[in-house]
Amino acid sequence: MNLPIPYGRQHITDDDVASVNDVLRSPYLTQGPKIGELENAFAQYIGSTYAIAVANGTAALHLCCLALGVGPGTRVITTPITFSASANCVRYCGGEVYFADIDPETALLDPKAVRELLESHPKGFFSGLIPVDFAGYPVDLIAFRELADEFGLWLLEDACHAPGASFTTNDQTYRSGDSSLADLAIFSFHPVKHIAAGEGGMITTNDEELYKHLLRLRTHGITNKSDEFTEPYSGEPERGGWYMELQELGYNYRLTDIQAALALSQLNRADSMLSRRQELAARYDAAFSEAASAGLPIQIIVPPANVSHAYHLYVIQTPERKALYDFLRAKNILVQVHYIPVHLMPYYRQFGWEPGDFPNAEQYYAGCLSLPLFPALTNEEQDYVIDTVKTFLIGLP
């Protein structure tokens, strides 16, 4: 058994190394042919029409907000239980962030809480929603799409935790990030995510205009496509093959061919890695459901049968979180907490958010702990984690 055991870790194979090596020996290192290969393969895997590769998940969120018109006076709703980038992207554009509470049964943004917030303000006060597929549990995008349509909002799905996740209703299956319900969706290729590229991200959409806009925004706002050029100005020299236009203020948020090659290699085995995550989660479910039934202070979230959870994280909840965290860390089990509610961060408290604003999110945070979960985790390592957690819980006074 290999100690320490982290909560998440990339899984790099010889094929991954060979894919990167091939690019290093090619003429392209930055924006080369591997970008298009990855985008096409990822769109096919997710089920979207378009995919746009970018530098990281945060860049994906930022570009989406720009493309959706976020700016001063724009108000956007998201969940407090997420990585701060889900909210920060609105602030990057000068918009205002509002939070709504989570559903304690799922730890996901609660559509009922969002409706209450929307109905407490005049129609048109808010512009958009950013629900998050937290831990790999897909949000109820049907409910959020209905809210978006009713209140005139755009819908951006943060699916960083959930490639491969889905939910089924009325015999129709919706895959996280397929953009059948959301205007845009985003993913991350951070090392602990399902597809590791060191860094990197992806935007998916079915909207051609948003797709074209995002392509410009990721490359400084520049286009070299002649059908997008503006009319020549008076006295402009003849345009040659060198000609390009800076049409708006964009960013250098491009992915490199090196990262794309690694991500593409990982994507080739995405299904098997997802199956392993789900297998490990099922083993945790069995062990901790038994522990909870025996009266031990532990809770887990088990999705219903119509939900296929992607399990980026496996989260338990216990009132003994701090003591259990210290105990497991001392045993070389490097658990983590996901997440401190965003509204309680000092940056967001300056805007008036206070403890007690979102009781479900704060109660969740008080007890949540992410256990090790990654495809290369062995059954032996997982058994050690399970036994160590149970040892602590059984030993409580």
Q: Catalogue the active-site residues.
A: 193
Query: What whole-number distance in Å separates Cα of residue 317 and Cα of residue 266?
Result: 31
Place of tokens 């290699």: 265
- Evaluate whether 314 touches 281 at the Cβ level (below 8 Å): yes
Tokens representing 12 are: 């790099």
Our measurement of the distance from residue 50's CA atom to the centroid of its chain's CA atoms, rounded to an integer in Å, reads 18
Non-local CB neighbours of 335 within 8 Å, separated by 6+ positions: 7, 324, 325, 328, 329, 369, 370, 371, 372
28: number of Cβ within 10 Å: 16
Maximum Cα–Cα distance across the chain: 85
Positive or negative, the Cα torsion across 293, 298, 304, 305?
negative
Closest CA to 359 of 100, 181, 51, 157: 100
Phi, psi of 54 (to 5 degrees): -140, 180
Place of tokens 């701060």: 84
Query: What whole-number distance in Å separates Cα of residue 370 and Cα of residue 316?
Result: 6
Tokens representing 396 are: 């409580």
